[in-house]
């Protein structure tokens, strides 16, 4: 299995391939190969900065001689006019890395900013904000890193690092007990030690899970706050609890006050707006 670093390196290579192709002819036609200069990353709206270390990797992978001086680190709250870093080196390299770096940093900073808002909304409560697999194909590692930078918690990274028995799995398996039983048989046969979460759609399914047991976390899918409070009482701390489905910024605290351990929010990654910034000669 490929490591996180390998996946990020491959993403960077693919992004350069699709952007530069057989050459950045605009830059090559008017900028001498020997020209040297520097550019600054200028913040243009308030938010949480994320992607600085990925930007460093982008610059170094394209041109190891580019020198990056960082003034603001990942996770810091920024405002218009702030300069996050300055990069010095070949002007051709600065121009060819600009768009990929900005695409990554704007996306990651937008996710970190959104996550920080949700995390602050739950201040004083023990409930943690989770991301989901609703990510941009190929960019999952970066987007989930941005969630962590914003103060959120990563749910499973993919289909390989946790068992999550969702409604379709339960239905196709012929019910909750079948799904859980087969899960344990599979893990034993494969010699794997993975946490098990199961989704329930109502209190009857929740009671069935409590009867069968053998899980680590129960996901309460599309429950109302009232039903969530009742469900948390039924679970009684025996398993971790997670609320999911249709929860918004306006309603998330209502769910957290019911006592759930986690709330997953797809909006952290699937519909976020990038943070405005630019890379300008200086």
Active-site residues: which are they? Answer: 99, 134, 166, 199, 221
For residue 240, how many C-alpha atoms fall within 13 Å in the half-sphere facing its CB? 14
Residue of 160, 206, 209, 154 lying closest to 180 (CA atoms): 209
Output the CA angle 170-244-187, nearest 5 degrees: 40
Contact 216, 239 (CB under 8 A): yes
The tokens for 172 are: 């196709």
Burial 174-188, CB ≥16 within 10 A → b, else e: eebeebbeebeeeee
* Cα first-last separation, the chain: 42
Contact 109, 48 (CB under 8 A): yes
């Amino acid at each position: 299995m490929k490591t996180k670093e390998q996946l990020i390196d491959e993403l960077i290579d693919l992004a350069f391939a699709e952007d530069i192709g057989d050459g950045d002819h605009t830059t090559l036609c008017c900028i001498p190969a020997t020209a040297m200069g520097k550019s600054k990353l200028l913040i243009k709206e308030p938010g949480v900065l994320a992607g600085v270390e990925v930007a460093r990797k982008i610059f170094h992978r394209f041109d190891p001689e580019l020198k990056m001086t960082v003034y603001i680190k990942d996770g810091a709250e920024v405002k218009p006019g702030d300069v996050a870093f300055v990069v010095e080196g070949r002007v051709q390299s600065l121009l060819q890395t600009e768009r990929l770096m900005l695409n990554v940093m704007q996306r990651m900073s937008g996710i970190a900013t959104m996550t920080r808002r949700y995390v602050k909304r739950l201040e004083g409560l023990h409930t943690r904000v989770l991301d989901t697999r609703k990510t941009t194909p190929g960019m999952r590692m970066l987007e989930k890193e941005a969630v962590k930078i914003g103060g959120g918690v990563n749910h499973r990274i993919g289909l390989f690092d946790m068992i999550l028995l969702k409604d379709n799995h339960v239905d196709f398996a012929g019910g909750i007990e079948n799904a859980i039983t087969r899960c344990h048989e599979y893990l034993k046969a494969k010699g794997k030690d993975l946490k098990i979460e199961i989704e329930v759609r109502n209190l009857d399914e929740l009671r069935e899970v409590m009867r069968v047991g053998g899980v680590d976390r129960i996901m309460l899918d599309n429950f109302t706050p009232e039903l969530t409070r009742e469900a948390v009482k039924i679970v009684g701390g025996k398993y971790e609890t997670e609320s999911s489905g249709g929860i918004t910024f306006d309603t998330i605290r209502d769910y957290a006050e019911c006592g759930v351990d986690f709330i997953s929010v797809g909006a952290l990654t699937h519909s976020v707006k990038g943070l405005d910034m630019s890379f300008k000669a200086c």
